């Protein structure tokens, strides 16, 4: 058994960011539990061809660890992973990380005021506080399609890419047309014999203004970090403005839709294909797709968009409801992730044996997305209602981490046994939050992975990034029950 002050679960952006900030606050006895053998989280797992970030790289990096060497505006997955590794080296985090530690359960012990994490290999780690940095996109999800087990060809999930499988000359099906799919498809059409894209609902597509950074700019960023800082700030505010159209349904939403429609009209010639690609919900309701090469890829000779519902998977391929069987050598599932809106990645047992997944069965709720009543000294990163629809997730994450570090510092400084958010404070917070959510585009009537089947939004934050940051800037001990 290993004991320390803090256990951090997950060595992705959030876990590593927490580790850095804890150390900067003078807390050194923490352990990072990582199920894989390397750092990087989502960026380590998602190595599919074309994987890249939707947010410009200077904004999709830690504010206190700028990277002047980004090669382009929207960097690819490999470059982001390199950045994460460089951060680990710069802040000397490796000694704190326990690789191969796949957490299978977490439980709180009232007497000692400690949490114990059990791992798959039988190890136990105990600490005063736990930071759940497992990430919302940690677990790949296969769709519920009849006959999925009967298919005998090759299967690949976008988040667990099989690099040993050669796509050259193969007949490939891609199921899903979300953020991963629109990045994969343009690469696949260059390699495969045929690519069939199975779409359920089309998303709004905005052109992505990707470009390489010229050498002189990289040099300038290196020599004058303030310039890069200012550039990041400009990108941040440009994204903040987008909230006006993407978070709330407004004339700005209509303007953004007009841009997306114009993009569609200019790049897709066939009117029926355009109709098939035109969403019937307001932009922002689902994640906006940022790509300039998806539409051209769909119109390549060897590519076909199929919008018929999938009836069943058969041994040789996919049968659609128009009665046709599409024979394929490989199916790529770009069907997203298991986002924990009503559950947790592993059982989490709090005070008096309460189980978090049971309390969240109708939708996850927390206080400021970080604390949950009944689970003292437990902190979440990317917790309920912390997702942005318009800005870099790392901006939100830095606010969470700073809040958590403030809380843990107080725990240590006052030598507290437990710090448990008050249930009444949490309830009032959620009532207000969901009142605000009701007026957002996400809750305007479409189905998306942000919502539960019942339409409960446990994913998104209804406001600007600056509002979120302000909300988390102060840690008020009065919001918590503290015990010594």
Partner 1 sequence: MAFDFEDMLRTVKDKQWALVDIDWDAPGADLITEEQRPKLKQFMTDLVWIENIGARGFAALARKAPNETVKEIYTYFHAEEQKHANAELALMRRWGMLEGDQVPEPNVNVRLAIQMLDRYADGAPLSGLATLIPMLECALDGALVKFLLDEVADPLCHEVFKHINSDESRHIAVDFQVLDLVGAGPLRRLLIESASILKPQILLGLLLYVPLLNKMRDNIVAMGLSERKLHNAVKRFVTNGQRSANTRRIPAYQLFKRQAAMVVDRTHPYHRYLADPLVRLTSRIPARLTGKTPSWARELTHEPVAE
Query: Footprint of partner 1 on this chain (CB under 8 A)?
Result: 146, 171, 194, 270-273, 275, 280, 308-309, 311-312, 314, 317, 319-327, 447
Non-local (6+) Cβ contacts of 52 within 8 A are 74, 75, 76, 77, 183
Shortest reach from residue 149's CB to partner 1, in Å:
17
Q: Min. distance of Cβ 395 from partner 1 in angstroms? A: 33
How far apart, in whole angstroms, are the C-alpha atoms of residue 468 and residue 463?
Answer: 7
Closest to 137 (Cα-Cα) out of 340, 386, 333, 289: 340
- Distance CA(142)–CA(403), nearest Å, equals 35
Provide, rounded to whole angstroms, the least separation between the CB of residue 189 and partner 1: 17
Considering the complex, state which of residue 20 and residue 173 has its C-beta at the smaller distance from partner 1.
173
Tally of CB atoms within 10 A around 179: 19
Tell me how far, at minimum, the Cβ of 317 lies from partner 1, in Å: 8
| Least distance between partner 1 and beta carbon 451 (Å) | 12
Q: How far is the CB of 302 from partner 1 (least distance, A)?
A: 12
Strands (E), 199-346: 205-206, 289-290, 303-306, 310-314, 317-320, 325-327, 330-333
Q: Whole-angstrom Cα distance, residue 484 to residue 467? A: 33
Instruction: Give which of 133, 127, 118 is closest to 9, Cα–Cα.
Output: 133
The SS3 of residue 248 is strand
Smallest distance from partner 1 to CB 152, Å? 15
Closer residue to partner 1 (CB): 82 or 327? 327
How many C-beta neighbours within 10 Å does residue 13 have? 29
420-444 in b/e burial notation, b at 16+ Cβ within 10 A? bbeeebbeebbeebbebbeebbbbe
Eight-state DSSP code of residue 214: P
| Comparison of 139 and 302: residue with beta carbon closer to partner 1 | 302
């Amino acid at each position: 058994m290993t004991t320390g002050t803090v256990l951090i679960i997950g060595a992705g952006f959030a876990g590593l960011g927490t580790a850095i900030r804890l150390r900067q606050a003078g807390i050194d006895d923490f352990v990072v539990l990582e199920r894989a053998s390397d750092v990087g989280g989502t960026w380590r797992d998602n190595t599919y061809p074309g994987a890249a970030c939707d947010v410009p790289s200077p904004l999709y990096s830690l504010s206190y660890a700028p990277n002047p060497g980004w090669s382009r505006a929207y960097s690819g997955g490999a470059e982001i992973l390199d950045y994460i590794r460089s951060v680990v080296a710069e802040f000397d985090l490796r000694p704190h990380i326990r690789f191969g530690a796949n957490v299978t359960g977490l439980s709180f012990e009232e007497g000692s005021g400690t949490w114990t994490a059990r791992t798959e290999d039988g190890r136990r780690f105990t600490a005063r506080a736990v930071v759940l940095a497992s990430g919302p996109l940690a677990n790949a999800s296969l769709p519920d399609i009849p006959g999925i087990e009967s298919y005998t060809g090759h299967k690949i999930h976008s988040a667990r890419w099989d690099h040993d499988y050669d796509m050259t000359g193969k007949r490939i099906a891609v199921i899903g047309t979300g953020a991963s799919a629109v990045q994969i498809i343009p690469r696949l059409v260059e390699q495969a014999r045929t690519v069939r894209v199975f779409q359920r609902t089309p998303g709004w597509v905005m052109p992505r203004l990707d470009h390489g950074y010229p050498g002189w700019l990289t040099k300038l960023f290196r020599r004058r970090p303030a310039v890069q800082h200012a550039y990041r700030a400009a990108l941040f505010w440009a994204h903040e403005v987008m909230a006006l159209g993407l978070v709330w349904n407004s004339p700005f939403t209509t303007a953004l839709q007009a841009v997306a429609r114009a993009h569609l009209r200019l790049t897709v010639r066939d009117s029926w294909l355009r109709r098939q690609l035109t969403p019937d919900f307001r932009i922002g309701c689902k994640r906006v797709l940022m790509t300039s090469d998806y539409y051209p890829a769909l119109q390549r000779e060897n590519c076909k968009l199929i919008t018929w519902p999938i009836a069943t998977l058969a041994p040789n391929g996919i049968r659609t409801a128009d009665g046709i069987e599409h024979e394929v050598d490989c199916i790529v599932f770009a069907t997203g992730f298991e986002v924990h809106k009503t559950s947790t990645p592993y059982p989490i047992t709090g005070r008096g044996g309460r189980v978090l997944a049971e309390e969240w069965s109708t939708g996850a709720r927390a206080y400021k997305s970080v604390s949950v009543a009944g689970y003292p000294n437990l902190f979440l990163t990317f917790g309920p209602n912390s997702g942005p629809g318009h800005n870099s997730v790392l901006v939100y994450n830095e606010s969470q981490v700073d809040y958590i570090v403030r809380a843990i510092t107080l725990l240590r400084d006052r030598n507290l046994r437990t710090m448990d958010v008050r249930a009444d404070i949490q309830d009032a917070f959620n009532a207000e939050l969901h009142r605000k959510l009701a007026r957002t585009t996400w809750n305007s009537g479409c189905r998306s992975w942000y919502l539960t089947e019942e339409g409960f939004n446990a994913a998104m934050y209804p406001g600007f990034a600056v509002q979120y940051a302000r909300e988390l800037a102060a840690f008020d001990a009065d919001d918590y029950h503290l015990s010594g």
